[in-house]
Amino acid sequence: MSENTYFDMNRRSFLKSTAAAGALVLGTYFMGGAPRAMAGVLAKPAENAKRANLFIALRPDGMVEVTCHRSEMGQQIRTAIAQIVADEMEAAWDKVIVIQGKGDPKYGDQNTDGSRSIRFNMQRLREMGSSVRYMMQHAAAKRWGVEPSTCVAEQHVVTHTSGKTLAYKDLIDDALTITPPEADKLKLKERKEWRYINTGMAHIDLQDIVTGKATFAADVREPKALVAIIERPPVVGGKVKSFNADKAKAVNGVVDVIEIPAPKGAPQFQPKGGLAIIANNTWAAWQGRKALDVTWDDGANGDYNSANFKEQLLNTVNAPQALVREKGDALSVLEKASDKLVADYYVPHLAQAPMEPPCATAMYYKDRVDVWAATQNPQADMETVGAMVGMDKEKINVHVTMLGGAFGRKSKPDFSAEAAFLSMKTGKPIRVQWTREDDIQHGFYHAVSAQHVEAALDENGKIDAYLHRTAFSPIASTFQEGANAPFSFELDLGFTDNPILTPNMKLERGEAPAKARIGWMRSVSNIFHAFAVQSFINEAAHKAGKDPKNYLLEVIGPDRIIDVTDQKAEYQNYWGDKSVYPLDTGRLRNVIEKVSDMAGWGRNMPKGRGLGIAAHRSFLTYVATVVEVEVSDAGDLSVIKSWVAIDAGTVVNTDTVKNQTQGGSVYGITTAISDGITFDKGRVQQSNFHNYRVPRMSDSPLEVEVEVIESDAPPAGVGEPATPVYAPALCNAIFAACGKRIRQLPIGNQLKA
């Protein structure tokens, strides 16, 4: 080890430190003060936490190590972060290596959800890369005794106008004497100078994935690790009553049966409790579990029944509730209206069902715990594991593997806490493997919801007054015991920010208890809010006898910026500054017009075929989708093709955005065709992919044509925004194809009737 040099953006100076020998390590201040895990889906970036803590290292061999502090779950963030840094620092792409950052508050927020990795980080990553390029350019100039302006740093080499050159790796010592300017005086590249950013370059993990070399959570091979499979209480809050440990231990390979304590208070990310079967291999643990003969005390949630709860939610939204946003006097206009449209919508619980079920390996030591986990938020693992084993969170080392899909499930690290607890009890490294049944039955579910919408239409179909009530089991309940009312951010997502232009609008929210653990799933409450709003507008179009696309544009109205806080509403705008990320209906109009062109909206459709459209802004991104379906006389549904226009502002990897948009669309099919998650006697009634259907190739359109709108607006979200529009576009297409209106999801047998 030798002394090394870190650059501190705050002090504008270098700090001596010990690090990998001979490397120039550049850090920049980042958003520090990591938000508590419970802030969940919309953690707010902290401001002004200027610490030298996100690193680019230039090694003596010339390789550049870029640290990715966000989790890789298919959105190719590892590639995107490298693209941004390498572009601004003018690194040769084949000399860039990505290092996966461990859980550490020094990085600032690491909670990889809310579609915000690029939005929160792009500017700082650019500044960091640019600072290195500056140092390379100025170091070479100093060595040569020439004006820096006569030197150009490009592709790992600085070239002087005379033609002489110096490689980056030969400038490391010189660069330590160079101080780059303040961030606001750095000369970042102009867009036209970008060579990696805003291209569709292949992602860095592609070859590892297609050869089976990528390491997902269950692929972590700790040689002495034992495997644990856990039988958890089927009802949230339930406890073990009796079990047969001897019978389980009699299974060859089973080492032990260990009880995990029941959680206390609000669920948070605590394990559910239950009985862990510890074995030498996975199959033995699996067999041992079956031999346990466990019985349970179900507790207070043993009465949870989805059919009854649905009635409760529908009753709630059909009565006045707490005000969220108000303009004019919607109620009195509605009372007097001669032409009214009234509709109730329902969307069930859903499970994220990532392809890799939750899994973590942990090794407990006296003074620390090492964890390897598929986690979206390693800092939440640090807190949750620390609390579980009674250790300071700083002592929990969390290594982040490839995620194998996540969709919100893996920002709740109950599985890491299970592994750490069992390692503490056994003194051995433990890999906790969730089965698919565990994943489907012990999740943090997408909230079940009901929506009630009413509108008064004038003689031209214009909406004179609009009333919308929402009720759902809130995410708030996961963090506050007994919470019945949603966090305001749950309403922000597609409810409070309704873009309909009308003189009279009233938005209300009801209360609903949570009898299961509720969590966020890709695009969160946008799913049911967009389903209601976009279905309702389509219904109104048909009632008014207007073309649904034209009508959609009409109800959104002329291009303008909407600030709902003028209408007694609280609205956090995904924690985006509203002057930087305003709700701009012009951009919404633009994607609608674009997607209509792509899909050939208005063309004649054969019998049984139909086009449906929906548009929605979420995660500060504007998406419009057209779906073409065919419904046979027998009521069989085929999704033929989809078109999506997405305006996410500046995008880093154009192909990734397309892939995410295609995938986010297919994910949206789940809402429509899945059986949903239902409960009886507090127990989830689905167990695996045979009865919790997720889209297969036969359910998916074979083409999802995506147009990424070219934009120099600031970067917005990409991972989630394609999902909420899909189910309403699909159901609107079904109506166009066969005249059947789907107000309740899943579609189930409704087309057969």
Partner 1 sequence: MITFTVNGNKHEFSGDPSTPVLWYLRDELNLTGPKFGCGMAQCGACTVHIDGMAQRSCVLPVSAVQGRKITTIEGLSENGDHPVQKAWVEHKVPQCGFCQCGQIMQAASLLSTNPTPSDEEIVENMSGNICRCGTYPRIHKAIKSASKSISSNAGVSYFDPTQAGEEA
Total binding residues for partner 1 by CB under 8 A? 74
Does the bond joining 721 to the residue before it have cis omega, within 30 degrees of 0? no
Spell out, one character per residue from 416 to 435, where the chain touches partner 1: x when CB under 8 A holds, - when not: -----------------x-x
Place of tokens 């950052």: 101
- Tell me which residues in 432-461 interact with partner 1 (CB under 8 A): 433, 435-437
- Binder of partner 1 out of 33, 62, 148, 200 (CB under 8 A): 200
Tell me the three-class secondary structure of 456-511, residue by residue: EECCCCCEEEEEEEEEECCCHHHHCCCCCCCCHHHHHHHHHCCCCCCCEEEEEECC
CA distances from 561 to 268, 558, 564, 581 (A): 37, 10, 10, 10
Of 132-140, 153-161, 320-328, 700-708: span binding partner 1 (CB under 8 A): 700-708
Residues 649-688 that bind partner 1 (CB under 8 A): 654-655, 658-660, 662-667, 669, 688
Q: Is 526 in the site for partner 1 (CB under 8 A)?
A: no
Interacting residues with partner 1 between 10 and 49 (CB under 8 A): none
The answer to whether the beta carbons of residues 473 and 448 sit under 8 Å apart is: yes
Mention every residue, 6+ apart, whose C-beta is less than 8 A from residue 4: 16, 17, 18, 19, 20, 21, 22, 23, 24, 25
Q: Which residues within the stretch 314-353 sit at the binding site for partner 1 (CB under 8 A)? A: 353
Q: 18 to each of 1, 2, 22, 170, how far by Cα in Å?
A: 7, 6, 10, 20
Q: Which residue from 20, 167, 202, 580 is in contact with partner 1, where contact means CB under 8 A? A: 202
Say whether residue 278 binds partner 1 (CB under 8 A): no
Neighbours of 373 (CB within 10 A): 30
3-state secondary structure of 742: coil
Contact 228/285 with Cβ under 8 angstroms? yes
CB of 78 to partner 1, least distance (A): 12
Task: Tell me: does residue 598 bind partner 1 (CB under 8 A).
Answer: no
Does the footprint of partner 1 cover residue 361 (CB under 8 A)? Answer: no
Q: Tell which one of 235, 350, 406, 599 touches partner 1 (CB under 8 A).
A: 406
Q: Which of 357, 378, 519, 649 is close enough to bind partner 1 by CB under 8 A? A: 357
Tell me the C-alpha distance between 696 and 640, whole Å.
14
Residue among 125 and 229 whose Cβ is closer to partner 1: 229
Taking the complex as a whole, how short is the minimal distance between the CB of residue 424 and partner 1, in angstroms?
23
Nearest distance from C-beta of residue 576 to partner 1, angstroms: 25
CA distance 743 to 486: 23
- Is 82 a binder of partner 1 (CB under 8 A)? no
Binding span for partner 1 by CB under 8 A among 34-42, 283-291, 336-344, 420-428: 283-291
Which has the closest alpha carbon to 26: 134, 115, 157? 134
Q: Minimum CB separation from partner 1 for residue 209, in Å?
A: 4
**Residue 407 touches partner 1, criterion: CB under 8 A:** yes
Among 13, 17, 242, 252, binds partner 1 (CB under 8 A): 252
Q: Smallest gap, in angstroms, from Cβ of residue 18 to partner 1? A: 35
Question: CB-wise, 28 or 71, nearer to partner 1?
Answer: 71
The smaller minimum CB distance to partner 1, of residues 437 and 511, is found at: 437
C-beta of 97: minimal distance to partner 1 in Å? Answer: 19
In the stretch 211-250, what mask flags binding to partner 1 with x, by CB under 8 A?
xxxxxx-xx-x-----x-----------------------
How far, in Å, CA of 288 to CA of 436, rounded?
A: 17
In angstroms, the CA 21 to CA 699 distance is 54
CA distances to 536, 547, 589, 708 from 594, in Å: 22, 16, 9, 10
Q: In this chain, which stretch among 365-373, 453-461, 533-541, 694-702 interacts with partner 1, using CB under 8 A? A: 694-702
Which residue, 334 or 430, is less far from partner 1 as judged by CB?
Answer: 430
Query: Is residue 376 a contact point for partner 1 (CB under 8 A)?
Result: no
Cβ neighbours for 679, distance < 8 A, ≥ 6 positions apart: 304, 305, 306, 309, 349, 515, 516, 685
C-alpha to C-alpha distances, 655 to 139, 509, 658, 719, nearest whole angstrom: 36, 39, 5, 13
